[in-house]
A and B are shown apart, each in its own frame.
Chain A
Amino acid sequence: MNGGDEVVTAPAGPPQPLDWKFSQVFGERTAGEEVQEVDIISAIEFDKTGDHLATGDRGGRVVLFERTDTKDHDALRRDLERTDHPINRHPEFRYKTEFQSHEPEFDYLKSLEIEEKINKIRWCQTANRALFLLSTNDKTIKFWKVQEKKVKKISEMNLDPPKAVGNGCVASSSNSNSPTLCLANGGSSGNDFSFPPGGLPSLRLPVVTSQETNLVARCRRVYAHAHDYHINSISNNSDGETFISADDLRINLWNLEISNQSFNIVDVKPANMEDLTEVITSAEFHPTHCNMLVYSSSKGSIRLIDLRQSALCDSHAKLFEEPEAPGSRSFFTEIIASISDIKFAKDGRYMLSRDYMTLKLWDINMDSGPVSTFQVHEYLRPKLCDLYENDSIFDKFECCLSGDGLRVATGSYSNLFRIFGCAPGSTEATTLEASKNPMRRQVQTPSRPSRSLSSITRVVRRGAETSGVDANGNSFDFTTKLLHLAWHPTENSIACAAANSLYMYYA
């Protein structure tokens, strides 16, 4: 279907490691500048074409960026460049617009504050040049339309503008109080107001002069009051008309057009809350099969459910779990096994999960264990106790796959993020820092781990720095964590969030 799958099965060697370069930064922090809590980015999402990028922040705002290097107006220049030399263009974005998606609220029934923080953003199908997206905080999902509107400058009114406004108020507010108006509005009731057959020449239509446009975001629908717990994911169905929202214990199915009802499709809430051992941490629809979705759990398992089987999908169609290595169990085993994010590859065959220490690539046809496992920050393993003490161990890192399915990426601490090649035979493991000089902290790719290429399952453990950067004297900063990042759907370009700054890299 796309390159990813073919290359994975192709006998030709793994693709060359990519050389990552800094592209852009939005909202860069100047030295010494305090980061405002509300400005911290909490969600990043490219749209399907990759022409738009959206970020959400803790202040409930959504910021949109649009790609500038593919616009038609510079097509000419592009052609010129192309004939000159094979250009190495990379996606460039510019600020498009922003809007306040969520406001802080208070649930009076439960005496709970509801934060405005945007937990997730998902793009919907673009229609008629209008952009659509879903954004959610802990409780409420909103459907936004962003559209260019003409700035109206009206001239040639029938009446003097101030007068017209004055009368306008009368005209709209009451039809019964003003007798003349009853007559004129008699379209409903009467023919008593007769016009000459040729019409009245003195009347004219308003003329709109200005053709300037500006972007307007309108909230089209609010999907509220369906979640008792905090929403962790939303995901669109390939049918273009439904989406799911998942909280800790339930997954609901919505129709985009209907905001006053949803269907509960998964409910893991035990009859007695004391029996609760596992919560839902993330959920996503399959990219092409409308009936399939996966959700991950705090115990590290992934469940695939088939919406065709039954209306309430409490029993899964498939369970993906890695068998626990004997003797490895410790106090932290269960905590670090919790999956913080799950993503499907574009082809829908592979999926990627992130737990605290690793990225795991799964084949949906193989439920016995992951195809590959990538160590993200193995040097932290001895420090789990500290990480537990300062709650960092509960940080929820996101993960992403490249459009071609050849690479995966995820974030770590000290504003670092890691990119791994997941094609067979690839040893690519890059560490980048979210800064203008991403290779500053680059560590050497460790030597290839010994493994048999003939093994049926390509389980690899690599990228495990022995003692890590720590040995270089860099102390790791647990407060600068890179939780959110997204891979451009068609090109090798990554957007990632370091606190309030959005960094973009390309290769």
Chain B
Amino acid sequence: MAMIDEPLYPIAVLIDELKNEDIQLRLNSIRKLSTIARALGEERTRKELIPFLSENNDDDDEVLLAMAEELGVFIPYVGGVEHANVLLPPLETLCIVEETCVRDKAVESLCRIGAQMREQDLVEFFIPLLKRLAAGEWFTARVSSCGLFHIAYPSAPEALKTELRTLYGQLCQDDMPMVRRSAATNLGKFAATVEAPHLKVDIMSMFDDLTQDDQDSVRLLAVEGCAALGKLLEPQDCVAHILPVIVNFSQDKSWRVRYMVANQLYELCEAVGPEPTRSDLVPAYVRLLRDNEAEVRIAAAGKVTKFCRILNSELAIQNILPCVKELSTDSSQHVRSALASVIMGMAPILGKDATIEQLLPIFLSLLKDEFPDVRLNIISKLDQVNQVIGIDLLSQSLLPAIVELAEDRHWRVRLAIIEYIPLLASQLGVGFFDDKLGALCMQWLKDKVYSIRDAAANNVKRLTEEFGPDWAMQHIVPQVLDMINNPHYLYRMTILHAVSLLAPVMGKDITCSKLLPVVINASKDSVPNIKFNVAKVLQSLIPIVDQSVVEKTIRPCLVELSEDPDVDVRYFATQALQSSDQQMMMSS
């Protein structure tokens, strides 16, 4: 056994642990691979460390994943770009392993290295590697190869380029659906590197194969390729080759394929230009909005605003709006919910008149939806409509909707609406708020569910931030402080919590004059839980108020609490006293 000098000790441990029994230690060592490489020097890294890693590739997936990642940034440690090729063999074996995430990482690292390699090295080392993988015995190798073509292709000589294109074509027709899926996923990237003439012939024929695949999962991915390919092609080629495919896809037998089209369609509009959009894509989209399958309608409804943004408002009103009206009364609540989450965004696109005339009735009907998510989605996007038509037209319907949600029997619904109250307050203005919503905010402080009371306390703070301390002094603080006399200690605790949140926003004067006395009073409470919460709140008030107030009011109270019979009260009181000591030391 070699003797190791003291300073080298940790690095020696690190190296030994590359082969430790404990996976955590191996992982730790692999994560420090660059340190090991620096300790060994560039030459021994190339000649010993990298071959060592190539041989020891039957480790657990977690270790292999880490190795694949580390190797991606290893060029500096093997002596720079001219030696980058030594990194390829270990990554090649990692490209074949069975775990998908390891392979993906290995491919990513290979791409990163390949992008830096010199052209002759790519031809000499990278392309042969790619060809080996593409002809690999296991489908895992072939799956990985698909993600490397776009790195290799630009540097390849003409003959090799032809070969690579042929190879990719074969992968698109592989027996294994996994390989075809990978080919479909990576087609867009590869196509971006292929010269225009070949793009139109070779790539498009591969694309055609994939779009007619028996496996739905392959066709799904081909749909995703449509937009990417569309952007590479000239508009007229796009219209000739991609448009018919997407129109076909929009009527595919499989609802999952149509679902993908519904999600992607708007991206294609720009690629094909306005006229084909009007003549082909709009009808296709309208079909999807009226699809038999609710999932497809959900996807289509969720994209309605994005799609309309691309069209002119006239086209949108003529073709899309009638569908939107139908969807607002769809039988599936999820469709209505998806629509409600985006429909407010249509107001700026359609303009004021059309919004009032066409959209407003839809908003109002969705606000009365029996499903709370639909109403919540509308309320959450109120600001978008407010900018176009102002809130007045909506406010009449808004209030009942809010009140109903505020009293919903599901606490999650109540929680959701509380989250939107500050937004509503800012949109509706102080006047509206005072009249209608103020009482609700107080009511939530007395909710049966803790999460609601907690959110309500936070809401009080956010409202104060929105409207300012003066307004809060008039409309919130007195009511909140009144509740400290509630007979139930849990509600008193909520108020203490609200006070601790309000204090920083209200400033030291109001804190001293209004909030602090309430807290000090509460220290005489009969319930220990209240008392130690008083201690906690007092601790949080120390930085806000003047030192004199701390000395005169807070500390005496804490001292008294620190002699309380209850152990928890004493503990938190002592903590607060200590923190106040520290505060004093720091300020003095």
Spell out A's residues near B (CB within 8 Å).
125, 127-130, 132, 145, 147-150, 152, 154, 157-160, 164-165, 167-168, 171-172, 178, 180-181, 183-187, 193, 195-200, 202-206, 208, 218, 220, 238-242, 257, 288-291, 307-311
Q: Which of A132, A150, A164, A288 interacts with B98 by CB under 8 Å?
A: A132
- Known contacts: A127-B140, A171-B10, A208-B55. The answer to whether A199 contacts B43 by CB under 8 A is yes
Q: Is the CB of B138 within 8 A of A127?
A: yes
Taking the closest CB of chain A, its distance from the CB of B21, in whole angstroms, is: 8
- Known contacts: A127-B138, A241-B217. The answer to whether A171 contacts B35 by CB under 8 A is no
Q: Which of A181, A199, A206, A257 interacts with B42 by CB under 8 Å?
A: A199
Q: Is the CB of B97 within 8 A of A199?
A: no
User: Which residues of the partner chain A approach B44 to less than 8 Å between Cβ atoms?
Assistant: 199
A239 to B139, CA, bound (A): 13
A-B contact pairs, 6 of them (CB 8 A): A157-B16, A164-B16, A184-B9, A205-B40, A238-B177, A310-B292
Q: Is the CB of B39 within 8 A of A167?
A: no
Interface residues of B in 246-278 (CB under 8 A from A): 253-256
Q: Which residue of A lies closest to B17 (CB)?
A: A168
Q: Which of A187, A205, A311 interacts with B294 by CB under 8 Å?
A: A311
Contact with A along B414-440 (1 / 0, CB 8 A): 000000000000000000000000000
Taking the closest CB of chain A, its distance from the CB of B91, in whole angstroms, is: 15
User: Which residues of the partner chain A approach B177 to less than 8 Å between Cβ atoms?
Assistant: 238-241, 290
Contact with A along B1-25 (1 / 0, CB 8 A): 1101101111111111111101011
Q: Is the CB of A130 within 8 A of B4?
A: no
Q: Is the CB of B15 within 8 A of A203?
A: yes
Spell out B's residues near A (CB within 8 Å).
1-2, 4-5, 7-20, 22, 24-25, 28, 32, 34-35, 38-45, 48-49, 52, 55-56, 58, 60, 96-100, 138-140, 176-178, 181, 214-217, 253-256, 292-295
Q: Which residue of B lies closest to A160 (CB)?
A: B1
- 9 more A-B residue pairs beyond the given contacts A128-B138, A200-B8, A240-B177, with a C-beta to C-beta distance below 8 A: A148-B58, A159-B1, A159-B9, A167-B9, A200-B41, A204-B48, A239-B217, A307-B216, A308-B216
- Among A154, A160, A311, the most chain B Cβ lie within 10 Å of the Cβ of A311
Q: Which of B25, B41, B99, B295 interacts with A311 by CB under 8 Å?
A: B295
User: Which residues of the partner chain A approach B38 to less than 8 Å between Cβ atoms?
Assistant: 195, 199
Q: Which residue of A lies closest to B28 (CB)?
A: A172
Taking the closest CB of chain A, its distance from the CB of B70, in whole angstroms, is: 10
A307 to B292, CA, bound (A): 14
- Known contacts: A180-B10, A241-B217, A257-B100. The answer to whether A168 contacts B20 by CB under 8 A is yes
Q: Is the CB of B39 within 8 A of A203?
A: yes
User: Which residues of the partner chain A approach B294 to less than 8 Å between Cβ atoms?
Assistant: 311
Q: Is the CB of A199 within 8 A of B39?
A: yes
Q: Which of A128, A148, A171, A242 interacts with B14 by CB under 8 Å?
A: A171
User: Which residues of the partner chain A approach B13 to less than 8 Å between Cβ atoms?
Assistant: 158-159, 164, 167-168, 171, 184
Instruction: Count CB-based A-B contacts (< 8 Å).
Output: 172
- Among A157, A193, A198, A310, the most chain B Cβ lie within 10 Å of the Cβ of A157
Q: Which residue of A lies closest to B57 (CB)?
A: A150
Taking the closest CB of chain B, its distance from the CB of A382, in whole angstroms, is: 49
Taking the closest CB of chain B, its distance from the CB of A117, in whole angstroms, is: 28
Name the 3 nearest CB pairs between A and B, nearest first.
A199-B41, A184-B10, A158-B12
Q: Is the CB of A180 within 8 A of B255?
A: no
User: Which residues of the partner chain B approach A206 to less than 8 Å between Cβ atoms?
Assistant: 15-16, 18-19
Q: Which residue of B lies closest to A242 (CB)?
A: B217
A150 to B178, CA, bound (A): 28
Q: Is the CB of B138 within 8 A of A158?
A: no
A384 to B96, CA, bound (A): 56
A206 to B18, CA, bound (A): 8
Taking the closest CB of chain A, its distance from the CB of B93, in whole angstroms, is: 9
Q: Which of A159, A167, A240, A291 interacts with B176 by CB under 8 Å?
A: A240
Q: Is the CB of A291 within 8 A of B98?
A: no
User: Which residues of the partner chain B approach A148 to less than 8 Å between Cβ atoms?
Assistant: 58
Q: Which residue of B lies closest to A158 (CB)?
A: B12
Q: Is the CB of B255 within 8 A of A310?
A: yes
User: Which residues of the partner chain A approach B214 to less than 8 Å between Cβ atoms?
Assistant: 288-290
A308 to B52, CA, bound (A): 49
- Known contacts: A238-B177, A311-B294. The answer to whether A185 contacts B58 by CB under 8 A is no
Q: Which residue of B lies closest to A165 (CB)?
A: B20
User: Which residues of the partner chain B approach A154 to less than 8 Å between Cβ atoms?
Assistant: 19
Q: Is the CB of A203 within 8 A of B40?
A: yes
Taking the closest CB of chain B, its distance from the CB of A419, in whole angstroms, is: 32
Taking the closest CB of chain B, its distance from the CB of A198, in whole angstroms, is: 5
Q: Is the CB of B254 within 8 A of A308?
A: yes
Q: Is the CB of A172 within 8 A of B22?
A: yes
Q: Which residue of B lies closest to A130 (CB)?
A: B98
A202 to B3, CA, bound (A): 9
Q: Is the CB of B25 within 8 A of A168?
A: yes
Q: Which of A187, A197, A202, A291 interacts with B2 by CB under 8 Å?
A: A202
- Known contacts: A168-B20, A202-B5. The answer to whether A290 contacts B215 by CB under 8 A is yes
- Among A172, A204, A208, the most chain B Cβ lie within 10 Å of the Cβ of A172
User: Which residues of the partner chain A approach B28 to less than 8 Å between Cβ atoms?
Assistant: 171-172
